[in-house]
Amino acid sequence: MGTRRILHVDLDQFQVSVERRRSPELAGVPVIVGGDGDPTQPRKVVTCASYEARAQGVRAGMPLRAAYRKMPDAVYLPLDTDAYDDASAEVMTVLRGFGPVEVWGWDEAYLGADDLDDAAAAQLARDVIDTIAGHTGLPASIGISDNKQRAKMATNFAKRADADAGPRVFRLDADNWGEMMGGQPTRELWSVGPKTAAKLATIGVTTVDELVATPKDDLIATFGPHQGNWLYVLCRGGGDSTITVEPWEAKSHSHSRTFPTDLVEPGELHAAVDDLTAEVLRHVRDEGRIVFRVAVTVRTATFYTRTKSRKLAAPTVDVEQIGPPVHALLDDFDLDRPVRVLGVRLDLVPTED
């Protein structure tokens, strides 16, 4: 007999993966995304680092200048929130084909599934990873459990697996909780940050097993009733199994193209945005939606990446009204370098309830 399963889906090195999708030559190259892509600028931080960069000590939240000192030869790219919004929406659309989904950000979500045994849950996870990769080209890892907190912790184990060995999936539940988590530092528990871990250490608790052995009254005395009770439940593998599904609709549709040979001639560039606009507009019309703003993204051979947008005079799906502003945006770029990637985005009028 199967049980309720929660799958935590986590997109691997998400922003970097999106950048590599539109610039495949970046595969295997250290890539660091953050700020405006200039690592010499002050007060800018790393948003995402590829695994190659992480191996050299670069981490999200690190100042870009510090990352540059560690890896001056890495490729530095600006944060492109529109591209990540679009890529995330693609993935969440795929996930909704498998069941109820609770979105937790650009790169992670929970998928609920009922009446599955261990083998069926693992097969579902593999199918989800393969389908995401097939539809979007983005890699993912999945943790499986009976609640959201434990499923997210399972994903941490999945991410440590060798990606070349197949889909990265890990199950963490009552059967292996003590074995996998007992000796782990308390920081490995979902929601236990450095301050909580330090406070636990003051009462002699540094591992999950030691936290399990701590009386509930002692935790309440140290942390108060809310957090104390939560830590008591969390260290035993407890958590929330509710999937909250919110109404969702696409805010935009976009498409980008990486050219086998960089484009230089204005005529080639304008012909390419014509094709991209027509392709995106087909999706918009298929959904019965209306466009109110257009945007064009350009990436040159030097990885300079920028997006420009313009609101239309009136919402429409008429290509005769959409095309000229798209071409005008392209002309706004000072393209003195060959172009390797072009993208067109069409922002959509929200539907009425």
pLDDT (tens, 9 = 90+) of the chain, 353 residues, equals 467 899 999 999 999 999 999 899 999 999 999 988 999 988 889 999 999 999 999 999 999 999 999 999 999 999 888 889 889 999 999 999 999 999 998 899 999 998 899 999 999 999 999 999 999 999 999 999 999 999 999 999 999 887 667 789 999 999 999 999 999 999 999 999 999 999 999 999 999 999 999 999 999 999 999 999 999 999 999 999 999 887 777 788 888 888 889 999 999 999 999 999 999 999 899 889 999 999 999 999 888 888 999 999 999 999 999 999 999 999 999 888 899 999 999 999 987 65
d(CA 73, CA 80): 21
The predicted pLDDT at position 352 comes to 67
The predicted pLDDT at position 1 comes to 47
Output the six-digit token pair for 163. 């990606």
Rounded to 5 degrees, what angle do the CA atoms 271, 25, 166 make?
120
d(CA 48, CA 11): 12
CATH number for 16-80: choose from 3.40.1520.20, 1.20.1090.10, 3.40.1170.60, 3.40.50.300. 3.40.1170.60
Q: What residue spans in the chain does CATH classification 3.30.70.270 cover?
A: 3-14+82-177
CATH class of 3-14+82-177: alpha beta
Rounded to 5 degrees, what angle do the CA atoms 93, 136, 6 make?
50
Q: Assign domain 252-348 to its CATH architecture.
A: 2-Layer Sandwich (3.30)
Active site residues: 108
d(CA 211, CA 229): 12
How many beta carbons lie within 10 A of that of residue 108, not counting itself?
Answer: 19
Report pTM.
0.80
Does domain 180-235 match CATH 1.10.150.20? yes
Are the C-beta atoms of 276 and 184 separated by less than 8 Å? no
d(CA 112, CA 154): 15
Q: What residue spans in the chain does CATH classification 1.10.150.20 cover?
A: 180-235
Q: What residue spans in the chain does CATH classification 3.40.1170.60 cover?
A: 16-80
**Packing angle between helix 216-223 and helix 225-234, nearest 10 degrees?**
140
One-letter amino acid of 166: G
Q: Is the dihedral of CA 104, 109, 110, 113 positive or negative?
A: positive
Displacement of CA 221 from its chain's centroid (Å): 38
